[in-house]
Amino acid sequence: MIQRLMERLDASPTNFQAVQTIAEALEGAGFRRLLPEEAWSIERGGKYYMTKNDSAIFAVIAGRKNPSEAGFHIISSHSDSPGFKIKPNAEIYGDGGVVSLNVEKYGGAVLSTWFDRPLSIAGRVMTRGKDALHPVTHLVDFRRPVCTIPNLAIHFNRQVNDGYAYSVQKDMKPVMGYFDEEEISLMKSEGGLVKSMLGRELGVDPKEIIDYELSLYPVVRATLTGVNEEYLQSPRIDDLSMAFTSLEALLQTADEETDAWRVMAVFDNEETGSGTKQGAHSPVLRSLMERFVALAEGEERERFLRAVANSFMISADDAHAWHPNYSEKYDPTNHPVIGGGPVVKINANCKYMTDADGSAVFRELCREAGVDCQYFVNHSDVAGGSTLGNILTGQLDLRGVDMGCAIWAMHSAVETGGVADHEATACVFARFYSC
Ligand code: ZN
């Protein structure tokens, strides 16, 4: 399972490729794609999936019983990770033919971790389609390193090791290379370096490219580290490790027959507050569930409301692991360790959806799966983060729990989690889907 998890992390440099990776795995397991703009027909035991904006994906296995009776068993996670997006008109032409790019920060990245690395570019590109309302989408991934963000030498910034406030606009612009005058005038005539690179990579005329959403990513493969290879280290562990672990559990249980309807929901834009049409704050999951209830047992709204009342959601987003160098940052009695099993997240001020009921359900699932489980609670003087669970409950008044695997260096360009924790979490997710 860990090998597959690492391959999927490597194949998913952005939210778009993550959704493609998941869609390919679902297709391979016999899931049928449903297009939101078409009429759907479904059958009991059928396996379906739907994408939204190419960056969120939802898989459903129809249960034996009606959803109003058996409910939905939902595991949610997110496809996006903090990093840098390339702005339009990004090219900045410097001395000696050097071209760098104007970028914008996405989410709360640890900026210092992005310097002096081989970086590549991936995302999606829109070219002209049959009419203005239907541009054609292309996913693109350069795969090889194409740029870097060089640090400033310590001689020009003697205080760098005393803490330095980085400016995204000044300090974080990736350098793409240097070009002669002829090359620069050619790229300018094609709409700039980015469009000219995209044209070559996709085999299209750069003038056909209308727009793009491109991100930088570190060219480093997922790897195991630690004396006994107990740690998993990779970019984008938060939250692709949970997305791929829920996928693993869904595929593992796909041929079982269950009364409940299994749902895997991978939203986009959690790192910026989930406020998009493909984010957890949107009606996308509720609409999908309403549609399945209507197709399974009719339009009456009361049936949908019963289905919601009979459902449970595991909101899976990675948690902070106790860091041996910074013990003082953690709660004295509830600091999950890497290797200690999945983590239930608790917050008295309801930043997490977990309550005693949701936690009890998850801890029982762990017990049934033979898996140890830990708590994360913030140090009482430290404000923590938030996640999907409570945002979703604004759309759906579901019972549920916020949980995740414990990781170090959340939002660093490369994060570290535990091998055993992901294997254990896959067992708990499979147990949830099976019951
Ligand atoms: Zn996350």
Using alpha carbons, list the distances in angstroms from residue 5 to 11, 51, 100, 183, 196. 10, 21, 34, 41, 34
Half-sphere exposure of 239 (CA within 13 A, CB side): 27
Distance 302 CA to ligand 1 centre (A): 34
Distance 14 CA to ligand 1 centre (A): 14
Token readout for 51 is 């994408």
Contacts of 118 (CB under 8 A, 6+ apart): 145, 148, 218, 219, 220
Distance 239 CA to ligand 1 centre (A): 5
pLDDT digits (tens, 9 = 90+) for 153-197: 999 999 889 989 999 999 999 999 999 999 999 999 999 999 999
Distance 395 CA to ligand 1 centre (A): 19
Q: List the shell of residues around ion ligand 1, using CB closer than 5 Å.
A: 238-239, 317
Distance 213 CA to ligand 1 centre (A): 21
Distance 315 CA to ligand 1 centre (A): 10
Distance 303 CA to ligand 1 centre (A): 33
Pick from 274, 266, 280, 303: which is nearest to 396 by CA?
Answer: 280
Distance 259 CA to ligand 1 centre (A): 30
Compute the residue count for the chain: 435
Distance 264 CA to ligand 1 centre (A): 16
Distance 355 CA to ligand 1 centre (A): 20
pLDDT for res 392: 85
Sign for the CA dihedral angle at 345, 330, 338, 7 comes to positive
Distance 83 CA to ligand 1 centre (A): 13
Contacts of 65 (CB under 8 A, 6+ apart): 259, 260
Contacts of 419 (CB under 8 A, 6+ apart): 2, 224, 229, 230, 231, 232
pLDDT for res 247: 98
Distance 211 CA to ligand 1 centre (A): 27
Distance 316 CA to ligand 1 centre (A): 8
Distance 81 CA to ligand 1 centre (A): 7
Rounded to whole angstroms, the Cα distance separating 418 from 2 reads 10
pLDDT for res 348: 86
Pick from 285, 259, 280: which is nearest to 269 by CA?
Answer: 280
Pick from 369, 315, 371, 324: which is nearest to 347 by CA?
Answer: 315
Distance 254 CA to ligand 1 centre (A): 26
Distance 271 CA to ligand 1 centre (A): 7
Secondary structure (H, E, C), the chain: CHHHHHHHHHCCCCHHHHHHHHHHHHHHCCCEECCCCCCCCCCCCCEEEEEECCCEEEEEECCCCCHHHHCEEEEEEECCCCEEEEEEEEEEECHHHEEEEEEEEECCCCHHHHCCCCEEEEEEEEECCCCCCCCEEEEEECCCCCEECCCCCHHHCCCHHHCCCCCHHHHCCCEEEECCHHHHHHHHHCCCHHHHHHHHHHCCCHHHEEEEEEEEEECCCCEEECCCCCEEEECCHHHHHHHHHHHHHHHHCCCCCCCCEEEEEEECCHHHCCCCCCCCCCCHHHHHHHHHHHHHHCCCHHHHHHHHHCCEEEEECCEECCCCCCHHHECCCCCCCCCCCCEEEECCCCCCCCCHHHHHHHHHHHHHHCCCCEEEEECCCCCCCCCHHHHHCCCCCCEEEEEECEEECCCCCCEEEEHHHHHHHHHHHHHHHHC
Distance 171 CA to ligand 1 centre (A): 25
Contacts of 166 (CB under 8 A, 6+ apart): 111, 112, 172
- Give the phi and the psi of residue 16 in degrees, each rounded to 5: -65, -45
Cis amide bond preceding 239, omega within 30: yes
Distance 332 CA to ligand 1 centre (A): 23
Q: Which residues of the chain have pLDDT under 50?
A: none
pLDDT for res 394: 86
Are the C-beta atoms of 359 and 401 separated by less than 8 Å? yes
